[in-house]
Copies of this chain bind each other. A is one copy, B any other.
Amino acid sequence: MHETLLTYISEHSSTPLTAAEVEVIKEVFVPKKLKKRQFFLQEGEVCKYAAFIVKGAMRQYRVDDKGVEHILRLSIENWWVSDRESYIMLTPSRYNIDAWEDCELLTLTRADFLGSLSAIPAINEMTKKMDDNFAIATQRRVSSISLSAEERYAELVQTYPEFLQRFPQHLIASYLGISRETLSRLRSHAAKK
C-alpha cells in the first residue's frame, strides 16, 4: 500500500530514502479507505489530515447559501488533498472534501509532518517541488478568470484531459465556475466544427 507513495517520493526528489526513513514514512502515513460520497473533511471541522490518494477520485467544494455546491478542486491518484488553510492554521474549514469514487488514502497529521518528516531530506525536497508546482498551477487557474466559459473549458481539456473521463459534466462545469447547461451547450457547439 505504501509502495505507490514511496515511488512518488523518489520521483520528486534527488536524495534517496534510507531504510530507516522508509520505516518512519510507513509509520506516520496511516491508510484509510473511503466509500463513494464519504466525507474526508466537512465544513466547520479542522482539517486534521493531509492525504495522498493511492486510488480513487475526490472533490473539494463549498456550499453556498442556496445549497449549491461549488467545486474548488478535483483530485485523482497520485495527488494530495487537504484544506491547506485549515490544516496549517488549525482554523475551521469552509470546505467539504469527499470521495467521488471509492478511495484508498494515506493520511498524515500536521504534527507528524512537522515532527517526524521534516528531518527527511527527500521529503523536504519533494515538498518544495510540490509547492512550486502548486503555485504554478494556481497561477494559471487565476489567470483563467479573465477567459470566457468556452476558453476556460478548452484550457481544462488541454491541462487535465483525465478529468473528462473521471468526473461527470456537472462537476466539471462547477469546477469551471459555469452552469451545467452552459457547458452542455458549449460542447455541442464545439462538436459541430
Contacts and interface: CB of A to CB of B under 8 A. Distances in A.
Contacts of A145: 145, 177
Task: For the complex of A and B, list the 5 residue pairs with the smallest distance between their C-beta atoms, beginning with the closest.
Answer: A70-B146, A145-B177, A131-B131, A138-B138, A85-B136
A143 interface: yes
A134 interface: yes
Interface string A134-149: 1110111111011000
B138 A72 contact: no
A141 B143 contact: no
Contacts of A64: 146
A115 B83 CA distance: 32
A23 interface: no
Contact of A62 (B136, B143, B177): B143
Given A135-B131, A135-B135, A135-B138, A143 B72 contact: yes
Given A143-B62, A146-B62, A135 B84 contact: yes
Interface of A: 62, 64, 70, 72, 83-85, 88-89, 94, 128, 131-132, 134-136, 138-143, 145-146, 174, 177
B146 A88 contact: no
A140 B85 CA distance: 9
Contacts of A134: 135
Given A131-B131, A177-B145, A138 B139 contact: yes
A94 to B, nearest CB: 8
Given A134-B135, A135-B134, A135-B135, A142 B84 contact: no
A141 B135 CA distance: 13
